[in-house]
Structure formats: C-alpha cells, structure tokens
Amino acid sequence: GILKPDPRAYAAVTSALGVAAADCVFVDDQARNVAGAERAGMRSVHFDVMAPAASYREALRLLGIAQESMSP
C-alpha cells in the first residue's frame, strides 16, 4: 500500500533485504522515483529508455561491475 517515491517504500525494501540504503543501486525511468531513492540514501540511475545501454553501463558502474567481465 506504499508507492514510490514515498520514503517508506525504499525503507521497506532495504529492511526486507537487510541492507543499507547506501549499498543499493536503484534504477527507474521515472525522475520522481529516482529523486526519492536518492533522498532515501540510495545511489540511483535514471533509466533512459531512449539510451538503455548507457543507463545499463551506469548501473553496472555504480555496482562496481566491470562490463568487460560480463558474458556476451
């Protein structure tokens, strides 16, 4: 019953997963949800549906995953 960008939505997820918000990377195509995640302390990627590869690369970068290490 709680929707993004309500701060309780992000808190519910981090609580359920047992992780800190700072250890999360939130990806969404809605700027308001990305802003909400950032206010909650998450690193975020505003997913651009017109440039999905760039958004994907940014998410991998924030996760500390080198794209070269990914299988084709």
**Sequential DSSP letters for 3-28:** -TTSHHHHHHHHHHHT--GGG-EEEE
Mean pLDDT confidence for 41-60: 96
Say if residues 4 and 33 touch (Cβ distance below 8 Å): yes
pLDDT of the residue at 70: 58
Cβ atoms within 10 Å, residue 65:
13
pLDDT of the residue at 71: 55
Whole-model pTM: value is: 0.86
Say if residues 36 and 10 touch (Cβ distance below 8 Å): yes
If one compares 34 and 68, the residue with the highest pLDDT of the two is: 34
Structure tokens at 32: 């308001």
Mean pLDDT confidence for 45-58: 95
